[in-house]
Structure 1
Amino acid sequence: MHDPWLRGSANRWVPSPQPAGVYQLSVRDFLHENYKAWNIAKVRNLFSKDVAEKILETPLVSSVREDKVVWEEERNGCYSVKSGYKLAMRYIIEDVSRLVLDCWKGEWNVLSIVLNESSDTVGRVAMLIWCIWHNCNDKLWNDNVQMPRQIGRHAFDAWNDWYSVHKLQSNNVSRTTEADLVRWEKPTLDWVKCNVDVAFVSGSGRTSVGLCFRNNSGHFMAGMTQWQQTVISSVEGEA
């Protein structure tokens, strides 16, 4: 009763619930003792009408004396690595497709709820959704999973960093005039120019550094960014 042995391509499992004693029985327990035929009275007594009819419709081949395991993914009934791999990939693709569809539905439902909230709340929710989606991809491709508490903390920190940087940029833009703009100048022939900048996020205790190398044609050659858990002056950072 633990295998999908009913006939047909769908509903091949014996549905639950069934009488308690049925779970310990096998197919041969529903046959007559002296000859190979279904015990009709016993089958109809233990199962619902539709299940009983499916069982009774199953033909019993008299030439077969013992059961054997058959692999239905191959015509000859024998298992092969190729067919096993194809079956596994089919289930994986179905699971991923269902996961993607469910995730998008869930995201739209959440966003429709928070649209009337403040922009700060909407931003936090959007960042949390992005972190959850990133965690799903990390599990799929790298088999790496974060705990819900870790995802929530990462979303909180990422949102605060994003908000602080954009708030700082918006304040700087509002105070900048055309006269304050500095135009980049190309280096002389056969020279490379390196531009350096540092940034500080108030209250974070971090200093970020960025480097950009360009040739005398103004073409980008290389770049680098890094941050360290310390606060230094702008002069020290650019040095």
Structure 2
Amino acid sequence: MVAKQVWNVVQNPNTLVAKLIKARYFPRSSLFEAPLRYNPSFAWRSMWHARQILSLGCRWRIESGENIRVMHDPWLRGKVNKWVPSPQPAGVYQLSVRDLLLENYKAWNIAKVRNLFSGDVAERILETPLVNSVREDKVVWEEERNGCCSVKSSYKLAMRYIIGSDKYHVAGNWNGIWKAQAPHKARHLLWRLCRGCLPTRYRLLERRVECNLNSPVCDEEIEDEIHIFFMCAVARDSWCAAGLSSVLHNDAYQQSNVMDRIFAVCNNESSDIVGRVPMLLWCIWQNRNDKLWNDNVQTPRQIGRYAFDAWSDWYPVHKLHSNNESRTTEAGLVRWEKPALGWVKCNVDVAFVPGSGRTSVGLCFRNNRGQVMAGMTQWQQTMMSSVEGEA
């Protein structure tokens, strides 16, 4: 959403908001070069970080090239970096793209480009097409056909380049979590748990939120993920009440990291157990929140039994719904099948228009490799149904 607002500033520089932001934060440069500056507003700080997404997907469309700076704007074509890499000869930093074109003709000055830039950079410049139909120098968004940035395409780009990078990527069996046979709310909790996103008191302290570190359920130990879901007496009794004590006490699931425990369970247990575990964890977390905010407490037996009953009620309905969807898909999907070796298959289709008095017939002959051998279309003057015509 913020990247979309940054796009609006870039596309509409004459609006009052764009002029105010430019005058305050980057009066002598472009938005892509603007520094964060001292004591920025929350809005500008958000826009300053969001421009990273914008810089990955936008590019200048070249008309005259007068408004495009060679070294400071993204204008090269291709999936790799759209900026001309540094360092380059000193004189290049003051040039616009117009200086690299022929006089009175929209084409690259090949000799000048090769003289100013190294071989690989020169080739990238010369490979950038110059389209005569372009009427103005303008920033376009490459992720959309219409050249306009959208929240959807920005999100996809962020997922592809930023979250998918090594800095943010966390290795693990994430598909095992999302394929767990459990309600979506339980799978989402499982994902948050593995990503360290649950606001336990230990996590809050890590984010400089001052609070009492003791667990609100037992008020004895520091509340982190391992304690609240696996080590707390209430949690352990809840596992037993849910019929999952064998999972809790299994030596293969005693890792010190909660993410490793969850991944191990998803890898080694049956689909039923993998579905019941996140449901139980969700109930434990709900009980914790109910105690914290409403001072309501459930017994471990109530927590465990509710988790078991909730999953048992959900699973048959989910299974029935999935089976109905698969049957509907299979029933509505008709695929052509190849004939046996040495055989030829003839497919026939017939159509007619009421009131015309004529019927159209089409035939197609194909061999066992699916190759068309012959075909025919024909009009019949007699009026007949499609079933009669195909017969």
TM-score (norm 1): 0.40
Bigger radius of gyration: 1
- Structure with larger RCO (C-alpha < 8 A, sep 6+): 2
TM-score by length of 2: 0.26
